[in-house]
Chains A and B, each alone.
Chain A
Amino acid sequence: MLPFIGLLMCVLGVLLFVTLSVAALAMGPNVKEGWLPLDDNIRGKTPILVEWDGTNAVIHRGNQKASVLVYLTSNSSITPEFSAFVTEMERKRKTDYVLFAVRPSGFGNFQILADEFRNKRVDIGYEPITQDRAVRLMGRQP
């Protein structure tokens, strides 16, 4: 009886391995990137991660994410929803800063977006990230 249990366990294990391998390959390696600002404690400010794709800003707050339309047209000013976020960051500029994850589709108009914060003396940082890779901030969260 015992040899059959061992054989059964081996077969089950192999099946489990195959299933997980297929799942991992289907998701693709490196599908998610976790950023851990190394000098977070030195600067003493909390990063607020904002993904920018040229149209929408995805604002990360802890485990929550909110997508906000920034420009209605290419020539228009920022929407009231995003303006509220800029105002909030201006209020918190001594304790927080905005860390942008800039996607390739957002390269063209990123500086215009960044100027919204620079003009309000809100500190920013920015880092490029490929178009489809998910990103999250690790470590200290607001």
Chain B
Amino acid sequence: MVDLLSNTVGALVFIMIFTVMAASGVVVLKRLPLEHKTKSKPINFLCEKSRIIPLDNAGLESRLKAKWGRPYSLFDIYSWVARYNGLEVEDEHFVARGESTISPLSLSILFTQKRDGGYAVNQIQLSDSKYRDLLKRVKAESDFVHFLVRPDAIDSFIAARKIAAEEMGIGTGWMPLAADSQIRFTSRGRTPTEQ
């Protein structure tokens, strides 16, 4: 009977310790690095809901500029700038639309993600996922992975960053993005930073 009592009390103490630990929260070990400027090239991904969407802004921009062409003459400059406005190119994940104003002179690109573009966060975990394939092509010494994160995609971002940083050893950075803000790259925009 004493044995039974001892065992029961011991088991209950163990359960109590476990319960108290569960109730008091978890300790998350994080590197939490400082932000720093970098000369590495950002490889951008948009994290939205439960999807990780590759944003090949450099590739789309060069295709947009190739489509835009050059001015026919010096007198064609204004109409050449105007022709940039509304030009569109697209890839598997995004539509890139050129935007321009003459006064003041400015050029920008609006990136709109396609429906069902990118990869579901449960797919990126697979060893042969397209996300991992993309990361394998990233040069860790000259590139870093930069995430644009929507408020509804924190868990997706953390999962994607973990693969890039911890499993593949690539530098990462991120930028919070409001739920309704558009993705627009301008020549005078914010420079991505690494963390």
From 31 to 86 in chain A, residues with beta carbon under 8 angstroms from any chain B beta carbon are 31-39, 43, 45, 47
Nearest-CB distance from A29 to chain B (Å)? 6
A23 and B23 contact, Cβ closer than 8 Å, known pairs A17-B15, A107-B150: yes
Chain A residues with a Cβ closer than 8 Å to the other chain, count: 49
Across the interface, do B29 and A21 meet the contact criterion of CB distance under 8 Å?
Answer: no
Which of A2, A23, A32, A127 interacts with B32 by CB under 8 Å? A127
Chain B residues with a Cβ closer than 8 Å to the other chain, count: 41
User: What are 27 A-B interface contacts by the 8 Å CB criterion?
Assistant: A10-B5, A13-B8, A16-B16, A17-B15, A20-B16, A20-B23, A21-B19, A24-B19, A24-B22, A27-B23, A31-B23, A32-B24, A33-B25, A33-B27, A34-B26, A34-B27, A34-B28, A36-B27, A37-B32, A43-B33, A45-B34, A106-B176, A107-B150, A125-B33, A127-B30, A127-B32, A128-B158
Given the complex of chains A and B, what is the CA–CA distance between A116 and B74 in angstroms? 43
Chain A residues closer than 8 Å to B35, beta-carbon distance = 123-126
**In the complex, number of A-B residue pairs with CB atoms less than 8 Å apart:** 122
Chain A residues closer than 8 Å to B33, beta-carbon distance = 39, 43, 125
The 5 tightest CB contacts between A and B, nearest first, are A32-B25, A104-B151, A108-B178, A107-B176, A24-B23
SS of B interface (majority):
mixed
A9 and B30 contact, Cβ closer than 8 Å, known pairs A30-B25, A111-B175: no
In the complex formed, the residue of B with least CB distance to A130 is B154
In the complex formed, the residue of A with least CB distance to B28 is A33
Q: Does B149 touch A at the CB level, under 8 Å? A: yes
Across the interface, do A128 and B157 meet the contact criterion of CB distance under 8 Å?
Answer: yes
Chain A residues closer than 8 Å to B151, beta-carbon distance = 104-105, 107
Q: Does A89 touch B at the CB level, under 8 Å? A: no
Nearest-CB distance from B151 to chain A (Å)? 3
Which of A9, A27, A108, A138 interacts with B8 by CB under 8 Å? A9
